[in-house]
Structure 1
Amino acid sequence: MAAFSQSDDLQGAQFVDVNLRGARFVRSDLSGAVMRGVDVAGADIDAPWLLEGGNVLRVNGVDVVPFVEAELNRRFPGRAEKRAGDPDGLRAAWAALERTWSATLERAAAMPAGTVEISVDGEWSFAQTLRHLVMATDTWLGRAILEIEQPYHPIGQPHAEYETDGYDLAVFSAAVPSYAEVLEARAGRVAMVRDFLAAVTPADLSLARKNPWGPEHQVTVLSCLHTILEEEWEHHRYAVRDLQAIEARSHL
């Protein structure tokens, strides 16, 4: 099977009468790609940034982005509040998110032992997803908003870009934590966000902070909180997707 990596520049390439059946594109830039007369039956696209910045995705001439957004909001009550712009709205948005995750944690706990460690199609396991959300909170609340010099919990799960862009991986433990340890760390970070939102004021939301991935750029406290909410909802969607896949396999 042919494999292409970051070192392969395929910008502007043309694929004519090519068989891409079963091909997998991971962390690839397909923006502006044009497909004509293609068979996409059974294709599965996951593009978390598609819904940001006025992006469009046309299928047979129809921009499907608004339909995708509306359907995700229907499936996940409370998700529509992730862009709340005032303290009360943000507190309500976080409370809804906590309720959603609580139900999902209960669902995972009711599944067979070891479920939380299962990886589906090479994606993070449920436990790894929770560990990544610990890191996301540390990045956008601890590092960006609170300006803590070293905010990272050692069990945090770095994302692929963090690992390849030269950041210090030494802050994270190489040992695999128990699920109980993951739950404890995750609960602590959830409480940190809740406590911060409990006291945040409109003036606080407009304060400028350094972008943790690009310190030369400034972001607002509000935009950092929006990023936390975005991370939470997207990774919850991934977690639910994979729990459903694990359940489906168990019934085969």
Structure 2
Amino acid sequence: MTTYSGTDEFEGATFVRASFKGATLRFSDVSGVTMRSVDVGGLDIDSHDLFFGSLFVNGVDVVPLVDAELNRQFPGRELQKAETPEGLREGWVAVQAAWQETVAGTPPELVDAHVEEEWSLVQTLRHLVLATDAWLRGGILRMPQPFHEIGQIFTGAEEMGFDMSIFRAEPPAYDEVLAVRAERQQLVTDFLATATPELLAEERDNPWGGDDWHPSVGDCIRVILEEEWAHLRYVRRDLARLR
């Protein structure tokens, strides 16, 4: 099967009576794509950025419908948008309870298993360590080097110039991942315990750089919550397939 990587040759192209059956698109830009009179049986779309835009199916923007359904499937998820300290604390408790259920219910033989090019449970927990480090330790607390060495960074970070020497080359043991993850969870719990509306409103720099967005402390916490819920969904989806 042919793989097209790093290409823009299809931008603005028109495909007529072409077959994309069984094709896979990863880390690709399909914004503004128009599809008419197409067969979409079994079409599977997964986009973390879905809720920042629109997706029209037969003239209906389905983004609000998807958002509402995910809130139904994951009670407490709606609190990732909370504006108050109380709401954020409640949202954090909800997502951590959901994660505890998933981790405790995963058999040992599946913690390192993964579907296709997706992350395993262990890798996902390592990424959530990194997300907490970036947005709490780095963004909010302004630590110069906030990252733990077992963190799992996003695909393409090295190509963006990120210093990968921060991270350990050999994968850590599962028990160590759980221990570091628990420490980072407690950091968020402790921070939220004393957070005030005034603190949440304070401005910070984007921990990933750039001058176009200066998040508030509350924004940083909301990003952590979004990461927690999104990756919980991914892990539960993949574990269901693995089982």
- TM-score, reference length from structure 2: 0.97
- 1:212 aligned partner: 207
Contact 2:102 2:236 in 1 (8 A): yes
Q: How far is 1:215 from its partner?
A: 4.0
1:92 positional shift: 0.7
Structure 1 stretches of at least 4 aligned residues deviating more than 4 Å after TM superposition: none
Q: Which runs of 5+ in 2 are unaligned?
A: none
Q: 1:133 is matched with which residue?
A: 128
In structure 2, distance between residues paired with 1:47 and 1:14: 23
Letter in 2 for 1:76: F
Partner residue of 2:236? Answer: 240
How many aligned residue pairs are there? 242
Q: CA RMSD in A?
A: 1.1
Contact 2:114-2:242 within 8 A present in 1 as well:
no
| Partner of residue 250, structure 1 | none
**In the alignment, which residue of structure 1 is the partner of 2:74?**
76
Matched residue SS, 1:18: coil
Query: What letter corresponds to residue 77 of structure 1 in structure 2?
Result: P
2:234 aligned counterpart, secondary structure: helix
Aligned equivalent of 1:6: 6
Deviation, structure 1 residue 4: 1.2
Find the residue that maps to 2:211 and give its secondary structure. Answer: strand
SS of the aligned residue for 1:124 comes to: coil
Distance 1:89 1:225 in 2: 11
The match for 1:227 is 223
Relative to total residues, which structure has the larger strand share, 1 or 2?
1
- Give the SS at the match of 2:20: coil
**Are 1:147 and 2:145 counterparts?**
no
Return the alpha-carbon distance in structure 1 between the equivalents of residues 196 and 72 of structure 2.
30
Q: Distance in 1 between matches of 2:158 and 2:105?
A: 31
Structure 1, gaps ≥5 residues long? 248-252
1:150, 1:162 → 2: CA distance? 16
Equivalent residue, structure 1, for 2:112? 117
Residue aligning to 1:20: 20
1:127-159 Cα shifts (integer Å, max 9, x gaps): 000000000110011111000001101000010
Aligned pairs for 1:55-66 (under 5 A) are 55-66=53-64
CA distance in 2, matches of 1:79, 1:219: 21
Indicate yes or no: 2:49 matched with 1:49. Answer: yes
In structure 1, give the amino acid aligned to 2:39.
D
Residues 58 and 81 from structure 1, CA distance in 2 versus in 1: closer, same or farther, beyond 3 angstroms?
same
Superimposed CA distance per residue, residues 163-208 of structure 1 (whole angstroms, 9 cap, x where no aligned partner)? 3211100100001111101101111111111111011111111111
SS state at 1:214 partner: coil
- Fraction of identical pairs, as percent: 48
Q: For the residues of structure 2 that align with 1:25 and 1:246, how far apart are their CA atoms?
A: 21
Q: Distance in 2 between matches of 1:194 and 1:186?
A: 12
